[in-house]
Amino acid sequence: MRNAALAALVLAIVFAAVVYVGVSGQDSSVVSTPTPTPNPVVSAPPSATPSAPASTSPPTPSATTSGALGAVTMQVTRTTVPAEFRYVVLGGGEEFRLVVLDLNAGRAAQVATARIAVPSGAPTGPSAAVAASKDGLIVLVTFVVPDASDSLFVVRPEIGDAKLLLRGEIRGAVVAPDGARIAIGRNDEDPSLTGLWVGTPDGAMRRLVADDASSTGSPPLPYAFSPDNALLAFGIGLGESGWQATVISASSTEGRIDRSGGDPQIVGADTSVVGPAVGAEFRSARELFVWRSPNMFGGSSGADLYDLATKRSTSLYRPAAGIQLAAAAWRPNAAQYAIIERPESHVFVPLTAAWLRGQDGSARKLGDIALVGDIWWSRDGSRLFAIAGGDDSVGGITDLLSGNGVMQFCKRGGGPPPTPCT
């Protein structure tokens, strides 16, 4: 009898040890958004040095949202970032997935899952946007939730970590190429929070440009950092007229947008006004590639190269009337850029035209592509990737230079292709 009791005690101890090891060995962490706070960012000067990564923690039970509308619970799994990668956010409604595509191997890996407390009766469902550093080690994920507060997370895939940076009305977020700085456009009923913010992934933020929360076109929209992190390109909302590209030093004193005199002006900070733009990226530390398209209230399409030293723009391309530039990307280590064109009345036009154009005026049509969502170059500029085609279940990546398919991925789970997606 005594021996039986002793054996049972030993068995219980072994079982407890196995459970403990199994739980501690998981390479994932769970982060839940708290209820909104008046000012979740910390006022501190920006730093060019990234913060030390947070240590990976074992999984914990998902925190209860306590009815906080728009609150997000995010679980991250430790994932190695491929050499040639692209992050995409898939899903909708209450559930989203952050996925990294390995464009060399043709594989997709799930980095994180997110669950959202969606308000009932909202006019539209939640959406998500993603931005990443050049090496993919710092990822910004923004969840936009109508009729509730948005959430911005910084995710570090290779240590399986996520951190909530802020909740509020977030209009855009970008990360510097080396991941040392981030920029956020945010709106808020509190005027002290509305504007363009710059800081570090650890949450040390300061406002770079103040704006009036009640103004049409507020707040500024961040476009891109320069390769050396010194400059930030962003758009100033012009209301129905679109956006005006502007460049400011990332270490500038705080400026303010003055909208009292018609065209918005930035006072209190040294900036360079580039011109109308819907997108911009730095070709080099001192050259900015910008493109624009008309909207329903007017405007024109075009692509320009802006020299920050001389503060002069060079016109690269002006399409025929009635043509929009749906996307553009400058080719690394070359004087060329890619653009996607489509007619303004593109609702009933299934194909869009992809072009490779040179700074010297040369042009080569790459083909007519169905349902292009985004384009970007490989690191060495040898391939031009595009998210194109597919359906509500399967997505596809194509190399527009060769016309060859690169890979497919499942939008809702299952697979991977050719195994059927769910």
Q: Which one, of 419, 420, 418, 416, lies nearest residue 102 by Cα?
A: 416
Given a cut of 70, whether residue 81 has pLDDT beyond it is yes
Given a cut of 80, whether residue 347 has pLDDT beyond it is no
* Helices and strands, counts by H and E, the chain: 1, 31
Antiparallel, parallel or unpaired: β 255-258 and 204-210: parallel
What is the C-alpha separation between 306 and 277, in angstroms, rounded? Answer: 12
Q: What are phi and psi of 5, to 5 degrees?
A: -65, -40
pLDDT for 349: 61
**Residue whose pair of structure tokens reads 């592509």 in the numeric block:** 369
Buried b (16+ CB within 10 A) or exposed e, 115-139: bbbbeeeeeeebebebbbbeebbbb
**Interval 345-356 mean pLDDT:** 76
Name the pLDDT band for 39 (thresholds 50, 70, 90): very low
What is each CA distance from 331 to 199, 380, 413, in whole angstroms? 28, 9, 33
Q: Which one, of 161, 124, 122, lies nearest residue 141 by Cα?
A: 161
Contact in structure between 422 and 412 (CB atoms under 8 Å): yes
- pLDDT single digits (tens) 110-169: 999 999 999 988 889 999 999 999 999 999 999 999 999 999 999 999 999 999 999 999
Q: Where exactly are the structural domains of the chain? A: 27-50+60-175, 319-422
pLDDT for 38: 38
In 78-230, where do the E strands start and end? 85-92, 95-102, 107-116, 127-132, 139-144, 150-156, 161-175, 182-187, 195-199, 204-210, 221-225
What is the C-alpha separation between 343 and 407, in angstroms, rounded? Answer: 28
pLDDT for 201: 96
Strand pairing partners for 139? 132, 155
**Interval 236-259 mean pLDDT:** 92
What is the C-alpha separation between 180 and 202, in angstroms, rounded? Answer: 10
**Interval 45-51 mean pLDDT:** 33
What is the C-alpha separation between 279 and 66, in angstroms, rounded? Answer: 39
What is each CA distance from 166 to 150, 186, 293, in whole angstroms? 8, 10, 32
- pLDDT single digits (tens) 289-323: 999 998 777 788 999 999 999 999 999 999 998 88
What is the C-alpha separation between 183 and 144, in angstroms, rounded? Answer: 17
Cα-to-chain-centroid distance, residue 348:
29
* pTM score: 0.84
Name the pLDDT band for 5 (thresholds 50, 70, 90): very low
Q: What are phi and psi of 227, to 5 degrees?
A: -60, -30
